[in-house]
Structure 1
Amino acid sequence: MAPLLLLLLWLLPAAAAFYLCCVRRHTGSAGATLRRREPGRAEKRGYSPPKEPWAPRLCGSGLRLFVHVANTAFGQICLLPFLMRLNSFLLLRSLDIHEDPTFIPEVAAEGGEDKSEAKNTSNVIEQLLDGRSDSTENGFSFKGIKDYLDCYRSGKLTPAQVAKNIIATLEDCDKSTPPLRAIVQWDQEQIMLMAEASTARYRNQCTLSYLDGIPVCLKEEFKVVPYHHRVGTVYLGTEPETEDATVAKKLREAGAVIIGVSNMHELGTGTTGCNPNRYHKIPRNPYQPNCFTGGSSSGSAAAVAAGLCPVAIGTDGGGSVRIPASFCGVVGLKGTFGRISAHGCLPLSYSTVSVGPICTSVTDAAIVYSLLAEPDPLYPYGLKQPKATLSDVCAPDLKGLKLGVDWTYFKACDAEVVSTCEKAVWHLQSLGACVVEVSLPEMEEVRVAHATCILSEMRDFLQPDFNKHFHEMNLETRATMALASQFTALDYIKANRQRTRSMAFLREIFAMVHCILTPAVPSTAPRICESDLVTGSSDLSFTVRSMRFMQLGNFTGIPGLVVPVGYSAAGLPINFQVMAKWWDEAVLLRVGLKLEQFRYQTKKPAIYYDILA
């Protein structure tokens, strides 16, 4: 009864909100005079500690009641506007922003292509792989690409033998208690066909790439033959897919062994990975199975952390690669907007989503990035990107790099996270980097504008599904889409005006520093409640908070890398984030390699399968 009583308490202030809504139609948005903002630097505000979002965590009968009310006239007119105002989602309505809107965060590449640097990529990868040779000296180490290549090149194991191990593991991990639920679709015959072809190439010494024979999985948001393109739902992908997404095609051409498609938060609408429907269920965090993996690329991160594969591919519209990578203690890279083709993904939010790898190490992320990052004629964004290189990634130190930190922003997280991440900053400084204090302006506006863009675009794309498949959607998805319906066309345009301002501020900041440093997520992975397994849950406060350090990258299109740097007292992973200017993923990888040295020991997850044993 407690959730029901809590929800009823909501309805009292909602009635007052209805009155205020009526009044504000006459007094102006938010009942205040518009604050005029001129273009340029004069009026930008630095970051101040955020007001923590508030909304009760709903599950079970409370969540059912909320979803029902939210999708009634009363909910749309009273309850949801109250919730929007309570969490400042209508902030932009009180601002008069003059900049022209930027609807797609594409940025022109600077300078010409460095062909000599591009040719050196293979040499850099060899150096990176050589540098992984001492990775086991401090105890446990995730098995990465180098470990697989060493087995194949030495003849200790073949890709076919590894594939048989993976198939046996996939059968085992979903029979365990609780089931891992990282890979939700796999096909033994398909896995063996790719592995046997790779085995033949190794035998004939004609391998295709560094990924030949390497097990990989792709988020269910990608089209992958012959699997169902369900995107975390029960109603999409009724027939097996007949055409690969560009990323899946490139991985096949590189000789990778696709072991299946991975679990995800339904339609990418959340950051926990909670997906209780019959096809998916809730994936478990390999470090603590009673905790969430993070989302929406939940199964991708769980698969890598559990040792099922060293590489997984996800998508990131609001931290959906970086949040699960952080909760599961592995590396996640969100490339510059348009850097890696998203052709063959469901276009849920076309202006915020980037594709990126989740890997066991920064080295592995660099290898996958160098393979996937290039223009795709089938994908309109990123066609004019510069050649992806690994320039200076192997530099012995960080001398010459300026790393920016907005300390007020940086410290807006749990004490354990702050403490660990502060030490990581001083570690980078000890390697020769210059740490520069910077001010990230208007981050509250960025939060609201990003939410406006991603939710408006998702609601637009999913409107036919919402009407036709409403009762087949998870309760949380229905609640999120109901909330998204509160944004107007004017809100969307205003949000994209803010995007113009924010991108301009970043150009100024990146003229002074090479990178911006933040924690990855303000907290560690949350616990799974028993009711989540049945009805799922909706926790707006957690969703907003978990994206705090993610949204700037998605909103403006800059790249971001998250790297494990430690653990909480409860043994849950803590990750650190590095962001750089558009197209400069190489500097992220350079800094990321040094961050890996900071964590003196890697803890073995509670669920881990050694495929090479």
Structure 2
Amino acid sequence: MSLEGPLAAEALAEALEGGGGAATASPPPPHCGLPLLPSPWPQAAAAAGGELPLKGLRIGVYDKWFDHASPAVVAACRAALAVLERCGAAVQPVVVPELEALRVAHSVTILSEMLHNFKERYDTPSLRSAFNADVRLALANARFWSPADYLQAQRIRARANVHFRRVLGQVHMIATPATPAPAPRIHPDALTGGESNLRQVSVVMRFMVAPNMLGLPAISLPVGMVPAEEDSPAAAAAGGGGGVMLPAGLQLIGRPLAEATLLRAGAVLEAALAKERQEAGPVGPAGTAGTAGTAGAGAAAVQSRCVPPLRLNPLTGERRGL
């Protein structure tokens, strides 16, 4: 379950970095029947102009799953989908069953494998104390699961693979919010003692479980700013919501070995959003134009509520002047 994922300022930069092999010039390995780099690669001008660089691309949306997020996040992600449609993509409804069973199987798998990897250290008192309290709590919970629980989780994993492969046979990718809500608050005490909040982890991971558990490629793209939740660090620093905005993201889950298709869609979406923000006018202080505002033409509507010219410690919410 341990997977590395690259981080880049934009999708095209990630492609040129060779993320997922997307920009390699060499032929694909024998087990890979898909071209690694779509040709031609869409330029920013294509998305910014009147062309349809994503014509023929099908994006699936399971509405019940997609809408299981805060209204502001859903609105920003729906607006981003509309931008993709204007770039030629077709958005169509799909159904993905047994997502709750997959979530439970994901938790059982991760914690069971953690306990297996660290069992010798955990069972040695002198070494166990090196773990933070939150890690010790997680490993203690995993001790109550049996080998049968782990095997059942893998059966659910296999079923989910069938469900997702079937859906991805109908569409090129599945769209969801990246997270159901803006960044949650991290309590200052967590900096030293860690924090065990299984409910919060479950919420934050809601849309990440499927690609992580099934090994499917996925990309998260910033699509706008949404009001901070009451328990977020920015909201706490402002004494509540206070007009503070935090980023929201759209996640695209692709077919196996189709990272390049995700990067292509991401590059087009970024260029189209940049063009629409430019047409809407400034939406934030210098240096924040790349992520400020909601997706598409609604960007100007949040001009008066964008992030104030302050630096905020993301862990404590402490205000720092520029």
* TM class by smaller structure: 0.7 to 0.9
2:194 to 506, 520, 536: 536
Match of 2:252 in 1: 578
TM-score, normalised by the number of residues in structure 1 = 0.39
**Aligned positions of 1:479-494 closer than 5 A:** 479-494=137-152
Aligned to 1:409: 65
| Aligned mate of 2:170, from 483, 506, 512 | 512
Q: Equivalents in 1 of 2:221, 2:149: separation in Å?
A: 35
**Aligned pair in 2 of structure 1 residues 393, 505: CA closer, same or farther (>3 Å)?**
farther
Matched AA of 1:365? E
Superposition pairs for residues 461-480 of structure 1, below 5 Å?
Answer: 461-468=117-124, 469-480=127-138
Q: Distance in 1 between matches of 2:139 and 2:147?
A: 16
- Superposed CA offset, 1:333-361 (max 9, x none): xxxxxxxxxxxxxxxxxxx2322211111
* Residues 222 and 250 in structure 2, CA contact (< 8 A), matched pair in contact too: yes
User: Is 1:430–2:78 an aligned residue pair?
Assistant: no
Deviation >4 Å, runs of 4+: 370-374, 385-388, 603-608
Structure 2 counterpart of 1:389, from 36, 48, 56: 36
Task: Quote the residue 1:595 is aligned against.
Answer: 269
For residue 446 of structure 1, report the CA deviation from its aligned partner.
Answer: 0.7
Q: Confirm or deny: 8 A CA contact 2:222 2:291 kept in the other structure.
A: no
Q: In structure 2, do the counterparts of structure 1 residues 393 and 503 end up closer, same or farther at CA, with 3 Å as the change threshold?
A: farther
Aligned pair partner of 2:102 in 446, 452, 456: 446
Q: What SS does structure 2 have at the residue aligned with 1:390?
A: coil
TM-score relative to the length of structure 2: 0.72
Change (3 A) 1:393 1:412: farther
Distance 1:560-1:595 versus aligned 2 partners, 3 A rule = same
Which whole-Å CA distance do the structure 1 matches of 2:269 and 2:22 have between them? 23
Pairwise CA distance, 1:368: 1.9
Q: CA deviation at 1:420?
A: 0.5
Paired residue total: 250
Q: Aligned letter for 2:87?
A: L
Rounded to whole Å, the distance in 2 between the matches of 1:430 and 1:443 is 30
Q: Give 1:369 shift.
A: 2.7
- The 1-side partners of 2:8 and 2:189 are apart by 31
Structure 2 contact 34–258 (Cα < 8 Å) conserved:
no
Q: Against the structure 1 CA distance between its residues 354 and 533, is the aligned structure 2 distance closer, same or farther, given a 3 Å change threshold? A: closer
Answer yes or no: is the 8 Å Cα contact 2:21–2:36 preserved in 1: no
Native 8 Å contact 1:523 1:546 kept in 2: yes
Asked if structure 2 preserves the Cα contact closer than 8 Å seen for 1:405 and 1:435, the reply is: yes
**Counterparts of 1:186-201 in structure 2 under 5 Å?**
none
Match of 2:232 in 1: none
Over 3 Å counting, the alpha-carbon distance change for 1:370 and 1:519 in structure 2 is: closer
Question: Which structure 2 residue ranges, 5 or more long, are not aligned?
Answer: 24-28, 47-52, 228-243, 278-288, 293-306, 313-322
Relative contact order, CA 8 A, sep 6+: which one is greater? 2
Q: Which residue of 2 aligns with 1:90?
A: none
Name 2:221's counterpart in structure 1. Answer: 563
The Cα of 1:504 is off from its aligned counterpart by 1.0
**Percent identity of paired positions between Structure 1 and Structure 2:** 32
SS in 1 for 2:123: helix
Distance 1:410 1:527 in 2: 23
Q: Distance in 2 between matches of 1:603 and 1:406?
A: 26
Bigger radius of gyration among the two: 1
Does structure 2 retain, via aligned residues, the 8 Å contact 1:393–1:587?
Answer: no
Give the whole-Å Cα distance in 2 for the aligned partners of 1:543 and 1:370: 27
Shift of 1:440: 0.9
Q: Residue 583 of structure 1: CA displacement? A: 0.3
Q: What amino acid maps onto 2:3 in structure 1? A: S
Matched to 1:561, the amino acid is I
Amino acid at match of 1:484: A
